[in-house]
Amino acid sequence: MDTTRRNFIAKTGRIIAGTGIAATIPFAQTMARKISANDTVVVGLIGCNGMGFANLTNFVKQPGVECAALCDIDENVLDKRSKDLQDLTGKKAERFGDYRKMLERKDIDVMIIGTPDHWHCLQMVESVASGKDVYCEKPLANSIRELDIMVNAARKYNKVVQVGQWQRSGPHWKAAIDFVDSGKLGNIRTVKTWAYQGWMKPVPVLPDEQVPAGVDYDFWLGPADKRPFNRNRFHFNFRWFWDYAGGLMTDWGVHIIDFGLYGMKAEAPLSVMASGGKFAYPDDASETPDTLQAIYEFDNYTMIWEHATGIDGGPYGRTHGVAFIGNNGTLVVDRGGWEVIPEKENGQYKMEAIPPQRGGGRDLELHVQNFLECIKTREKPACDVAIAANTAKVAHMGNIAFKTGRKIYWDKNANQFINDDEANQLMEPEYRDPWKLPAV
């Protein structure tokens, strides 16, 4: 790379981090590589723990895909995942502690983002601005305003963005929605969505401590508030703290609520109200509610979300799922499969029962395959950024209703809550200096 080019990229990286994305960044035009059907797709991973590496594993198992680089703020994670990747592929990947350095590589076609939710917006916007297509872990972002920015960025730079709500690529999920579309269930008056997570135990209260060796904790915090290091807020458990995520409502909710919306061909609700709290583990370290119910009002039906930790006794004997409750029967679907439970009238079934139809268990792999095909055809993927943004927006509405403690009303055309300054303020993230919300 020549000196002029290197200086330009370094300067632009500083602009992105410090003042927002400039409207005229020409990265997409200068760095994007057109990928033909026979080309090798080169990927890089930002955030190598948990689902980040699970996603990468499914990428490198596909023919014609190789990983060139790994990025993480924890050198201990980088050590482990570098070895894991080499064992898996036989090849070494370049290591980075700062994802902006990795974005300088022109040969990388796809960025996989597996970082905590509060980082998704910055990293996704900067990735598409630098000419990369993106596979982003769910939920798409940690605020409603960030979601809008991310959709705008994907469209502005004409990039393919797939979000990890991988049920969208699952054959049995699609079969269930096709049945809902058939009209056989009759008028659907209620959609239930839920996640009961019995494996989740209390998050123990731990004292703050020194940052572990090899961890760039200030960079991990990024745009979030400055806080002392505490293991409860780091790696997996970040999900249960408002600074970084939205609890089970956004963590599992975007998977399950997505199909409640998909089956009803719905976008935004008219209103939302929610109630819950820390009822299972009132004294543990987490902030987000371990028990929550949210009711979404649509034109001719309601959708209910509920979650609970520490117990598995969800509706219809399932730990998670979606139930479309119609006049003739109820269709229930989860990751294991789907079935139809008929209603009775005067002792007669109103429709034919459908016994459990098993799922195939390859939804994530198929989701990756769908994305790889779309980066070659330039078509929208199964969970395009706009789909994921709408679903995450609905999930965030549930959290906002919980925080305000009242019923809130949504104006779809104005993209804000009606006559509710508090709720509208909760749509906006607060970034810590020097990080700025991207301007697209």
- 205-217 pLDDT, tens digit per residue, is 999 999 999 999 9
Residue 157, pLDDT above cutoff 90 = yes
- Indicate where the chain has its CATH 3.40.50.720 domain(s): 3-167+369-388
What the block records as the tokens of 254 is 């975007």
Q: 227: how many CB neighbours lie within 10 A of its CB?
A: 12
DSSP-assigned states of every residue in 65-130: EEEEEEE-SBHHHHHHHHHHHHHHHS---EEESSHHHHTT-TT--EEEE-S-GGGHHHHHHHHHHT
- Residue 85 and residue 250: Cα distance in Å, rounded? 29
| The one-letter amino acid at 228 | P
Residue 255 has a pLDDT of: 97
Q: What is the average pLDDT across 161-179?
A: 97
**pLDDT tens per residue across span 68-110:** 999 999 999 999 999 999 999 999 999 999 999 999 999 999 9
Interstrand relation of 302-309 and 291-297 (parallel, antiparallel or unpaired): antiparallel
**pLDDT tens per residue across span 212-244:** 999 999 999 999 999 999 999 999 999 999 999
Write down the H helix ranges in 211-298.
Answer: 217-221, 247-251, 253-264
- Residue 50 and residue 335: Cα distance in Å, rounded? 19
**Arch. (CATH architecture) of 170-360+392-414:** 2-Layer Sandwich (3.30)
Of the chain, the percentage scoring pLDDT greater than 70 comes to 92
CB 314 within 8 A of CB 204: no
- Indicate where the chain has its CATH 3.30.360.10 domain(s): 170-360+392-414
| Homologous superfamily in CATH for domain 3-167+369-388 | NAD(P)-binding Rossmann-like Domain (3.40.50.720)
**For residue 9, what is the DSSP state?**
H
Asked if the bond preceding 139 is cis, omega within 30° of 0, the reply is yes
Of the chain, the percentage scoring pLDDT greater than 90 comes to 90
Three-state SS for 331? strand
